[in-house]
Amino acid sequence: MIFKFFIIKEIKKFPFFFFLLSSTLFLGTLALIGISVVSTQVQEKLKANANQLLTSDVAISARRELFPQEKIILDKIFQTTDHRSYEVIDIYSMVTRTKNGNSRLVEIRSTEDGFPFYGAIKTAEGAFTRGHLFISSDLADLWDMKPGEELKIGDVVMKISGVVVEDSSMGLRGFSLAPRLYFPLDKLKETGLIRPGATGSFVHHYKLQTFSLEKIKNLKSILSKSLTDTAIKISLPEDSSEQTGRAISAITNFMSLSGLVGLILALVGVFYLYQSHLVSRLKDLCLVNLFGLTKVKILLGILIQFSFIFSLVMILEILVLVPIYKLLSPKISNYLGLLLSSEINFSQILIEIPLLYVLSLTILSPLLLGLLRTSMGAQLKSQKISLGKFKAYDFIPFLVSLWLFSSYLGHSFKIGNIFFFSLMVIFLISTTMIKCVQWLIRKIILGKGLLLPNIEAGIALRGLVRSGHKLTLSFLSLVIGATLFSLILQLDKMIVNEFSNNSKRPSLFLFDIQEEQIDSLVELAKENGSPLAFITPMIRARLEKVNDIKFVRKKKDFDFRANEEDEDTRFRNNGMNLTYRDYLTDAEKIIDGRPFPPGGATPDRLPFISIEKRWSQRMGVKIGDKLTFDVQGVEFDGEVINIKEIKWTSFYPNFFVTIEPSLIEAAPKTFLSILPEGPKEIKRSLQYRVVEKFPNISFIDVEEMVKKMSLLFDKSRLAIELISWLSLGVGLVILYGLSHDQVYRRSYDLALMKVLGIRAGQIRLHLIFEFGAIFFSATGLGLVLGWLLAQLIAREVFKLSFSVDWLRLTGTWMLLSLLCLGTIFLASWRAVQTKPRVLLSDS
């Protein structure tokens, strides 16, 4: 009975409040749930992808055949687990085309029955059947071969059964020196190619019949302990140094957390709305209490009321999400390059909804506790009604739930901590700033009149210091929203910066070009219709000294992007490739120091050197340092004159060290060149003709890899931008709600102002001043904080340097503030038009 009162009657009485409450909840949770639906799918797909790349659950690999005793150890370890296994051997070899006796280098991948455990090999002819010879489409193109032709591989001659068009185990690994061919493992011995002394990759793959992450990790550690030769590597799917997976994973984590921010904003809104609402209902609640309904029952009633609304919102959300997701999932699948199912996995949602419920309850608890603390009897007697105060510790359940939830969304406590900590920092900084500014304003208004210099400003200033918690909440939520928005914008810009969208994407690298061959090579390429994009010299050298002190590289240095190599040897080696040039490529930008002066080196000074930013940090070399290189036996000195930033994802050959045209030109060198993207036939004909005329020149085909990476980065940017606009939308809506409510509650004040002779325009202006001040400062603070966070992330995670785009920051600030002002304009429209008549007693 009583509960019906709380639900039906209340909602009928205050439709606008409940509408606002519902929409706030709806928006806040929609972003979160929507994102988590996508990201769960993505994570699953990524895991599957990682499996596909490795093709198995665990792989034991080495550059040689495993010794018999090692094989025995392997067998013993896997004896106890139900499993399947196969071996894959990759070797380079010269194969001959029996038709014309031509031979070339190919990469032979020999596989057994069952390959691959995960993923698939698709051939043009149908199934990838075992026991047969298949060639990759590259090789088919290069030699214009078709199934049925014969190839001599080692001692074995076989007919080609088909052409492989897709191999899911290839991934982003595009740096193959030679095209691939797929050979049956059991015939490999016959070829005579893997006698002792053969080099290649020998990998034993295992798949568990009943998969469990724990079992796998356990196996890995046992294997590592038992097979101690450093030549043997144990890999799990997660170890495949696959940048795509990690990148996409990071993005979805980020998006989930952004969704969480949207939710937090919504919860702030919910808190605020409920607080205002309870204050206005307090009198009635006190009456009800007087008539015998205990406080606890009242609390319960409110809880049930909220739960009712929450359930409605959740139901609506699911009803909305299912069709939307069905509609969008093909597009999203396309975007990410992962096949996502169009059916929502409800188990994920069903886990999250209760979590969201609990989180919402924790934000209401301070209010409910305050209600409990209200002495209801006394309220009725006094003319002033006020809600019991809530204490700071009332918020602890909320904070704890928030922390747990963020850890859950970020899939690790580390991320949860970072997120939570950042929020706390934002909170602290915001409240400190508010206190300071309020203190300042109080000093200004102390004892002074209202014309500061005009009535609007005078009233606005006072409003800023006397509006209590409501102001703090608005400010806070705006700061959080702006921080996120700014963070996203900055990250996006950094990604753009780092990953250039070069129109001249390479499809082939040519290397080992001799100096005397350059002119005729360029001519040949032009004639072929495939002009070369870029020719650069490469000189081998070692860094011997820095400022005349022998250079020893610190053992701790570790380039996170490098492959895993023996750490010991990495630190000894200081060999590198230099180039010389007097211009900057499109991918290069000087960030410190000055460019090479024109004309090259002069005898009165050391030749100038330009070094790459990250290399300089790793090696501890800075501008002004004298570097001494051992260039194949000859010492070469130079002085560092600038540091440059290189967009590695232009995929052009880039050098850490560039020397100005100088003596170095005389050193022995080879040249690299690039063929940009173009038609396949032209690429093929170029390769033919070059090999014909310049037999020493080799190629690396990077077309696939380049295409994939470029696509990936475009997609990340899109995803990030989407989220930023979404979060902005949520933020603005919530801001509108808060502003509307605040202004509405001032209706009487506004009416009174009219009575006293203040015009509507002036009233609006004072509101704009007051709220504008909050918006301006909050967005400003948020933007700065977001920028700081972005720099932190960039530095720690991506190893990029600081960058400030003042233009963008200021522009965003203006935009955000204007948008916010727009909301206050809208929100106050009706309130400002309140007829003063409402002040009279009969209203």
Partner 1 sequence: MSHLKVKIRNLKKSFGQGESKIEVLKGINLDIETGEILALTGKSGSGKSTMLSLLAGLDSVDSGDIVIDGNNISQMSEKELANFRATNLGIVFQQFHLISTLTAIENILLPLELLNIPHSMELSKSLLDSVGLSHRAHHLPSELSGGECQRVALARALAIRPSLLLADEPSGNLDEETGEKVMDLLFKMVRETKTTLILVTHDPDLAKRCSRVVNLEYGSLA
Partner 2 sequence: MNYIILFLISFTLQVRAETILFLGDSLTEGYQLSKEEAYPALIEKILRKEKKEIKVINGGVSGATSASGVKRLDWYLRAKPDIMVLALGANDGLRGLKLNETEKNLSLVIMKAQERGMVVILAGMKMPTNMGETYRNEFEKIFPTLSKKYSIKLIPFLLEGVGGRTELNLPDGIHPNPKGHKKMADNVLKVLRTEL
Q: How far is CA 64 from CA 93, 195, 229, 364, 778, in A?
A: 15, 11, 12, 65, 62
105 sits near partner 2 (criterion: CB under 8 A): yes
Binds partner 2 by CB under 8 A, chosen from 177, 324, 350, 718? 177
Binds partner 1 by CB under 8 A, chosen from 68, 148, 196, 449? 449
In whole angstroms, the minimum distance from the beta carbon of 761 to partner 1 comes to 10
Beta-carbon neighbour count of residue 538 at 10 Å?
17
> What gap in Å lies between CA 373 and CA 529, rounded to an integer?
84
On the CB side of 467, how many CA atoms lie within 13 Å of its CA? 25
Of the pair 325, 390, the CB lying nearest partner 1 is at 390
840 sits near partner 1 (criterion: CB under 8 A): yes
Residue 462: which of partner 2, partner 1, none does it interact with, CB under 5 to 8 A by kind? partner 1
Tell me the residue type at 409.
Answer: L
Residue 221: which of partner 2, partner 1, none does it interact with, CB under 5 to 8 A by kind? none
Any idea what the Cα angle at residue 428 is, between residues 425 and 429, rounded to 5°? 85
Strands (E), 150-271: 150-153, 156-167, 180-184, 201-208, 233-235
839 sits near partner 1 (criterion: CB under 8 A): yes
Contact set for partner 1, span 465-494 (CB under 8 A) = 466-467
In whole angstroms, the minimum distance from the beta carbon of 97 to partner 2 comes to 13
38: its two tokens: 């996508």
Q: How far is CA 783 from CA 428, 732, 773, in A?
A: 16, 15, 15
Of the pair 513, 751, the CB lying nearest partner 1 is at 751
Place of tokens 């200081």: 574
Contact set for partner 2, span 49-78 (CB under 8 A) = 62-64
515 sits near partner 2 (criterion: CB under 8 A): yes
Contact set for partner 1, span 591-650 (CB under 8 A) = none
Q: Mark residues 516-555: x for contact with partner 1 by CB under 8 A, - for none.
A: ----------------------------------------
Tell me the residue type at 568.
Answer: D
In whole angstroms, the minimum distance from the beta carbon of 783 to partner 2 comes to 47
**Checking phi first, is residue 193 left (phi over 0); if not, alpha (psi -120 to 50) or beta?**
alpha
566 sits near partner 2 (criterion: CB under 8 A): yes
842 sits near partner 1 (criterion: CB under 8 A): yes
In whole angstroms, the minimum distance from the beta carbon of 472 to partner 1 comes to 15
Contact set for partner 2, span 659-698 (CB under 8 A) = 663, 666-670, 695-696, 698
Any idea what the Cα angle at residue 57 is, between residues 52 and 62, rounded to 5°? 95
> What gap in Å lies between CA 41 and CA 47, rounded to an integer?
10
Of the pair 661, 676, the CB lying nearest partner 2 is at 661
CB-based burial, 717-727: b 16+ in 10 Å, e otherwise: bebbeebbebb
**Checking phi first, is residue 565 left (phi over 0); if not, alpha (psi -120 to 50) or beta?**
beta
126 sits near partner 2 (criterion: CB under 8 A): no
Contact set for partner 2, span 617-646 (CB under 8 A) = 630, 632-634
For residue 116, cis peptide bond before it (omega within 30 degrees of 0): yes
Binds partner 1 by CB under 8 A, chosen from 195, 225, 384, 556? 384
Among the residue ranges 136-144, 448-456, 622-630, 823-831, the one whose residues contact partner 1 (CB under 8 A): 448-456
Binds partner 2 by CB under 8 A, chosen from 113, 229, 586, 721? 229
For residue 453, cis peptide bond before it (omega within 30 degrees of 0): yes
Place of tokens 């047969």: 132
Among the residue ranges 171-179, 233-241, 745-753, 817-825, the one whose residues contact partner 1 (CB under 8 A): 745-753
- What are the two backbone dihedrals, phi and then psi, of residue 431, each rounded to the nearest 5 degrees? -65, -35
444 sits near partner 1 (criterion: CB under 8 A): no
841 sits near partner 1 (criterion: CB under 8 A): yes
Strands (E), 177-226: 180-184, 201-208
839: its two tokens: 């002040």
804: its two tokens: 């400030």
H/E run at residue 395: none
Task: From 740, 752, 726, 706, select the one nearest 828 (Cα to Cα).
Answer: 740
Tell me the residue type at 401.
Answer: S
Of the pair 470, 493, the CB lying nearest partner 1 is at 470
> What gap in Å lies between CA 137 and CA 115, rounded to an integer?
19
91 sits near partner 2 (criterion: CB under 8 A): yes
Residue 95: which of partner 1, partner 2, none does it interact with, CB under 5 to 8 A by kind? partner 2
Task: List the beta bridge partners of residue 537.
Answer: 671
Of the pair 104, 708, the CB lying nearest partner 2 is at 104
Q: Mark residues 761-800: x for contact with partner 1 by CB under 8 A, - for none.
A: ----------------------------------------
β-strand pairing of 233-235 with 58-62: antiparallel
519 sits near partner 2 (criterion: CB under 8 A): no
CB-based burial, 649-677: b 16+ in 10 Å, e otherwise: bbbbbbbbbbbbbbbbeebebbbbbbbbb
Tell me the residue type at 354.
Answer: P
462 sits near partner 1 (criterion: CB under 8 A): yes
Burial class (CB in 10 A: 0-12, 13-18, 19+), 247: middle
Among the residue ranges 183-191, 226-234, 419-427, 741-749, the one whose residues contact partner 1 (CB under 8 A): 741-749
Q: Mark residues 729-768: x for contact with partner 2 by CB under 8 A, - for none.
A: ----------------------------------------
440 sits near partner 1 (criterion: CB under 8 A): no
Beta-carbon neighbour count of residue 697 at 10 Å?
19
How many binding residues for partner 2 (CB under 8 A)? 58
556 sits near partner 2 (criterion: CB under 8 A): no
Of the pair 209, 230, the CB lying nearest partner 2 is at 230
In whole angstroms, the minimum distance from the beta carbon of 451 to partner 1 comes to 5
Beta-carbon neighbour count of residue 446 at 10 Å?
7
Collapsing DSSP states into helix, strand and coil, what is residue 202?
strand
Of the pair 425, 437, the CB lying nearest partner 1 is at 437
Based on its alpha-carbon atoms, the radius of gyration of the chain, rounded to whole angstroms, reads 34
570 sits near partner 2 (criterion: CB under 8 A): yes
In whole angstroms, the minimum distance from the beta carbon of 465 to partner 1 comes to 8
Residue 574: which of partner 2, partner 1, none does it interact with, CB under 5 to 8 A by kind? partner 2
Q: Measure CA 805 to chain center.
A: 20
Tell me the residue type at 165.
Answer: V
In whole angstroms, the minimum distance from the beta carbon of 384 to partner 1 comes to 7
Q: Which residues form the interface with partner 2 (CB under 8 A)?
A: 62-64, 91-96, 103-105, 108, 153-155, 177-178, 192-200, 229-231, 512, 514-515, 540, 542, 565-566, 569-570, 572-575, 601, 603, 630, 632-634, 663, 666-670, 695-696, 698
Q: Which residues form the interface with partner 1 (CB under 8 A)?
A: 383-384, 449-451, 455, 458-459, 462-463, 466-467, 746, 748-749, 751-759, 835-837, 839-842
